[in-house]
A = this chain, B = another copy of it.
Amino acid sequence: MKTFSTGDIAGMCDVNLRTVIRWIERGSLKAYKLPGRGNNRVTEDDFRAFLHTHGMPVPTQLKPLSNRVLIVDDEAPMASAIQRVLRAAGFDTVVARDSFHAGARLLQDKPALLTLDLNMPTMDGSAVIRFVRENPEIANTRILVISAMGEPLLKKALLDGADAVLQKPFDNQELVLLAEQLLA
């Protein structure tokens, strides 16, 4: 479990160490104390939650250094196609063919990007997007919705919190470009 000291956080948020301690004292930043003199430690999850609830930008040190992409699609040919293209472009790829594995992989692998097929019959894509955005642990995940659905539904996905949408059928270059933009 990764933890940060007040100094780490002060550096990442570009504020004084004294200020971080005050945030902790006031209770807006959750922390625990080491036995010695009570030096503060903040877990990564608590720090992410803090950033999230205060609408603060995620520091570069916390940004997912990985270029891992989780591909959620129940149609094997489509999943493979996306995987092949993204892999060729240098991304790490993981495929989830059903909603259970999608949820599990999402929290196990913590991908930087999630490509989400909205046409899956057994999954409520809208609920997935909202779940991601509401979970500080993974809220920073980029979401690319891929679907054969019409404009209105894609618009709704964006409202739910998707970062981009891609309508099937799509061009391979278009996919790579979008992925790179989202992870830039």
CB closest residue in chain B, given A27: B35
Measured between beta carbons, the chain B residues less than 8 angstroms from A35 are: 23, 26, 28-29, 50, 54
| Assembly CA distance A55 to B31 (angstroms) | 10
Contact of A170 with B by CB under 8 A: no
Contact of A57 with B by CB under 8 A: yes
Measured between beta carbons, the chain B residues less than 8 angstroms from A160 are: none
Q: How many Å from the CB of A29 to the closest CB on chain B? A: 7
CB closest residue in chain B, given A109: B107
Q: How many copies does the complex hold?
A: 2
| Assembly CA distance A102 to B56 (angstroms) | 30
CB closest residue in chain B, given A123: B100
8 A Cβ contacts from A53-92 to B: 54-57, 59-60
| Assembly CA distance A123 to B102 (angstroms) | 12
CB closest residue in chain B, given A2: B14
Measured between beta carbons, the chain B residues less than 8 angstroms from A105 are: 103
Contact of A179 with B by CB under 8 A: no
Measured between beta carbons, the chain B residues less than 8 angstroms from A41 are: 14, 56
Measured between beta carbons, the chain B residues less than 8 angstroms from A152 are: none
Measured between beta carbons, the chain B residues less than 8 angstroms from A99 are: 98-100, 103, 122-123
Q: Which of B19, B100, B124 is in CB contact (< 8 Å) with A131?
A: B100
16 A-B residue pairings within 8 Å (CB atoms): A3-B14, A26-B35, A26-B36, A28-B35, A33-B54, A33-B56, A99-B103, A99-B122, A100-B100, A101-B131, A102-B103, A103-B103, A103-B106, A104-B106, A104-B135, A122-B122
Please give me the 10 A-B residue pairs with the lowest Cβ-Cβ distance, nearest first. Answer: A103-B103, A103-B104, A122-B122, A107-B107, A99-B100, A100-B103, A28-B35, A3-B14, A99-B99, A107-B108
